[in-house]
């Protein structure tokens, strides 16, 4: 018997519990933790925009502020989305457990276990990447603050522009603590929520794979060579079981996308704009020779690209696994089956003519590698426009 939570979601549980987003055991302390973390993340964005009040707003300065503020705003959006939809996150986990409990075939259990291990493997990689990003960024900031407060020299720095309306040298350590807290909370949130959603979609791919297995197992040569009443009933049952878990996989994905569509759609728009601004920051600081600023914008652009790629990559996997169900039905020896079974297979093939995708924004975006290329191209177009305007 598979216990989804303890076997495959134990790392996700630790990450989400650390930031107060684990949907179980929501105590008063957890609510206080959520309020505190949201306040920290939101205040950091506000303190970046307040710099526009006290500083001369040139185009370059505005782009510098927005390139970082929009990056950190994604933390707030994702955090609030998971907190508001905690019941849905819990429901999806329970649905997965219920589906796993219904599996009796050892091969089907092995399939879902394989996809669970894949999700856990990606979670482990994401945690390692998150730790590396935090270590790099915190070391950069430590160097920045040392440079700013101990060298009386006017220079452009990689420091994220903020305005706290206090003496920043006097409250240096409190400001540094605030910024470090934002990085740690934000990256833990991004990793925990992202890997949880990735695990959900990976399990959906496992359901599609089981549907293909059931379809293939129903139409074996051995069974079709000896068509009798018992075999006909068995074929009917296996095809119905295949269609049933296929429908469950589609409903699972539809519930997942409908739950988080309200945050995914604005997040994609923010990512495209933020990516364009960080591309601009890279080329702008390259012309100024500011290597530290280039590294900062490279890190931000890399995180955005990786996140966009993973979202669209898992969407492409859903498309591929869904198509594989119909390819399996088409490649089976359906022509050797009785007429009423052929009609049942034909019905499945007709449904397979419509490609199933994870739609975001009312179908405006369909998660796929093509969508990733489109979003990246749009970001490059906006960056090219901004760079040409400067010239």
Gyration radius of the chain over CA positions: 25
Average pLDDT of the residues in 376-391: 83
Q: Is the pLDDT of residue 357 over 90?
A: no
DSSP secondary structure, 336-375, as one string = GS-HHHHHHHHHHHHHTTSPP--EETTTTEE-SHHHHHHH
> In the block, which residue shows the tokens 């833990």?
188
Among the listed residues 9, 306, 315, 316, the one whose alpha carbon sits nearest the alpha carbon of residue 129: 306
pLDDT of residue 156: 38
Region of 203 please: left (phi>0), alpha (psi -120 to 50) or beta.
Answer: alpha
Q: At what angle do helices 291-331 and 59-84 cross, to 10 degrees?
A: 40
More confident residue, 199 or 364: 199
C-beta of residue 151 within 8 angstroms of C-beta of residue 141 = no
Percent of the chain predicted with pLDDT > 70: 84
Give CA–CA dist 325/68, Å, rounded. 43
Q: Enter the pTM of the model.
A: 0.87
- Whether 298 has a pLDDT exceeding 60, the answer reads yes
Mean pLDDT across the chain? 83
More confident of the two residues 295 and 220: 295
What pLDDT score was predicted for residue 147?
43
Angle between helices 106-150 and 86-102 (to 10 degrees): 150
Give pLDDT, residue 200: 94
| Tokens 């090219």 -> residue | 384
- Closest CA relative to residue 78, chosen from 262, 263, 307, 258: 263
Stretch among 70-84, 270-284, 349-363 having the lowest mean pLDDT: 349-363
Closest to 14 in 3D by CA, of 115, 94, 127 = 127
Say yes or no to pLDDT of 158 above 50: no
- Which residues sit opposite 359 in a β-bridge? 366
pLDDT tens string 240-262: 888 888 889 999 999 999 999 88
Q: For residue 146, what pLDDT is reported? A: 47
Proportion of the chain above pLDDT 90, given as a percent: 39
pLDDT band at residue 180 using 50, 70 and 90 as cut-offs: confident
What mean pLDDT comes out for the span 58-66? Answer: 83
Domain ranges of the chain: 4-390
Q: How far is CA 306 from CA 82, 126, 187, 273, in A?
A: 20, 11, 13, 15
> For 159, which DSSP code?
P
The two three-digit tokens of residue 276, written as one number: 């364009």
Q: What is the pLDDT of residue 161?
A: 83
Q: Which of 149, 324, 344 is closest to 235 using CA atoms? A: 344
Confidence (pLDDT) at 296: 82
Residue 151: the pLDDT is 37
Mean pLDDT on 207-224: 78
Residue 163 has pLDDT above 60, yes or no: yes
Out of 111-115, 166-170, 244-248, 379-383, pick the least confident: 166-170
Instruction: State how far the Cα of 4 lies from the Cα of 135, in Å rounded to an integer.
Output: 31
What is the structure's pLDDT at 192? 93
pLDDT above 70: residue 225: no
Tokens of 221: 């040569």
Q: Which of 152-161, 250-259, 272-281 has the lowest average pLDDT?
A: 152-161
Q: Which residue has the higher pLDDT, 83 or 359?
A: 83
Ranges 102-116, 150-164, 318-332, most confident: 102-116
In sequence order, which residues have a C-beta less than 8 Å from that of residue 213 and are 6 or more positions away?
107, 108, 111
Q: How far is CA 298 from CA 264, 282, 294, 304, 310, in A?
A: 23, 7, 6, 10, 18
In this structure, what is the dihedral angle of CA atoms 164, 165, 171, 173, given to the nearest 10 degrees? 10
């Amino acid at each position: 018997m598979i216990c989804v939570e303890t076997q495959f979601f134990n790392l996700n549980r630790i990450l989400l519990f650390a930031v107060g987003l684990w949907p179980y055991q929501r105590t008063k302390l957890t609510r206080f933790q959520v309020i505190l973390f949201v306040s920290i993340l939101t205040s950091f964005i506000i303190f970046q925009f307040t710099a526009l009040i006290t500083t001369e707003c040139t185009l370059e300065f505005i782009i510098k502020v927005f390139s970082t503020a929009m990056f950190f705003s994604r933390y707030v959006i994702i955090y609030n989305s998971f907190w508001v939809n905690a019941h849905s996150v819990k429901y999806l986990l329970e649905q997965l457990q219920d589906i796993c409990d219904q599996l009796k075939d050892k091969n089907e259990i092995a399939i879902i276990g394989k996809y669970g291990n894949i999700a856990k493997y990606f979670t482990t990689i994401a945690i390692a990447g998150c730790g590396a990003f935090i270590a790099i960024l915190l070391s950069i900031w430590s160097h920045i603050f040392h440079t700013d407060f101990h060298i009386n020299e006017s220079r452009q720095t990689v420091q994220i522009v903020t305005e706290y309306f206090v003496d920043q040298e006097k409250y240096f350590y409190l400001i540094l603590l605030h910024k470090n807290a934002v990085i740690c909370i934000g990256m833990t949130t991004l990793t925990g929520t992202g890997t949880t959603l990735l695990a959900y979609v990976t399990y959906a791919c496992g359901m599609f794979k089981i549907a293909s297995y059931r379809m293939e197992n129903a139409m074996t040569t051995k069974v079709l060579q000896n068509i009798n009443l018992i075999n006909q009933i068995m074929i009917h049952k296996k095809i119905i079981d295949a269609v049933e878990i296929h429908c469950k996989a589609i409903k699972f994905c539809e519930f997942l996308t409908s739950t988080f569509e309200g945050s995914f759609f604005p997040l994609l728009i923010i990512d495209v704009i933020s990516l364009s601004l960080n591309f601009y920051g890279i080329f702008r600081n390259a012309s100024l020779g500011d290597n530290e600023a280039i590294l900062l914008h490279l890190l931000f652009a890399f995180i955005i690209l990786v996140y966009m790629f993973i979202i669209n990559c898992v969407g492409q996997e859903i498309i591929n696994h869904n198509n594989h169900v119909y390819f399996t039905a088409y490649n089976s020896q359906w022509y050797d089956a009785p007429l009423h079974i052929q009609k049942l297979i034909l019905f499945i093939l007709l449904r397979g003519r419509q490609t199933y995708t994870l739609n975001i924004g009312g179908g405006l975006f369909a998660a796929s590698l093509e969508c990733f290329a489109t979003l990246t191209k749009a970001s490059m177009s906006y960056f090219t426009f901004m760079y040409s305007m400067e010239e």
